[in-house]
Amino acid sequence: MLRWTKHPLEPMPSFEEVKAATTLEAKEALARWYDAREERIRLAKQDPIRHGYTLPQQEEVEQVLASKSEVWVFGGNRSGKSYNAARIVMKALLENPGCVIICWSQSEEASIEMQQPYLWEMLPSEYQTKIKEQTANINWNDKTGFTGKKFVLPNGSKCLFRFYSQFTQNP
């Protein structure tokens, strides 16, 4: 019995479609669908930049950024703004050797808890190990985020994490 991974963007066969697959040819077609679907889901999780899913509103933001230097994205909590921003930042870091991108957050804690994990998730899997070379420097852990509040990719691109506050009592 095949255990289909639940995914909001990858359709699964209906119960009727599975039940109707009675011939060997139909069962093999269903198995090919399953294998291809599970592989797409696995690759998207492993490497969201190269194999991930892009929603229409994310594509719109990228189209605007192709001709403008700024875009404002509004939405409530858990609407995908941070995920999409991390995706755009990582694509820019990978496609533009030697660039420097600063990711701003309201506090270091907010950056470590809500911003930096998305950048870590977007890193291609071959970079998700501790890297310390002449050019590249990537060191991550769940507790403190990226060491030194930055990381440097093998192509020389740097991502820096900085913080701002509107309250005088905040450090």
What pLDDT tens digit does each residue of the chain (171 aa) get?
A: 778 999 989 999 999 999 999 999 999 999 999 999 999 999 998 899 999 988 888 899 999 999 998 999 888 887 788 889 999 999 999 999 999 999 999 889 999 999 999 999 999 988 988 888 888 999 999 999 999 999 999 999 999 999 887 766 665
In which region does residue 80 sit, left (phi positive, over 0), alpha (psi from -120 to 50) or beta (all else)?
left
In which region does residue 149 sit, left (phi positive, over 0), alpha (psi from -120 to 50) or beta (all else)?
left
**b/e sequence 136-166, b meaning 16+ C-beta within 10 Å:** ebbebeeeebbeebbbbbbeebebebebeee
pLDDT at 89 (0 to 100): 95
pLDDT at 55 (0 to 100): 84
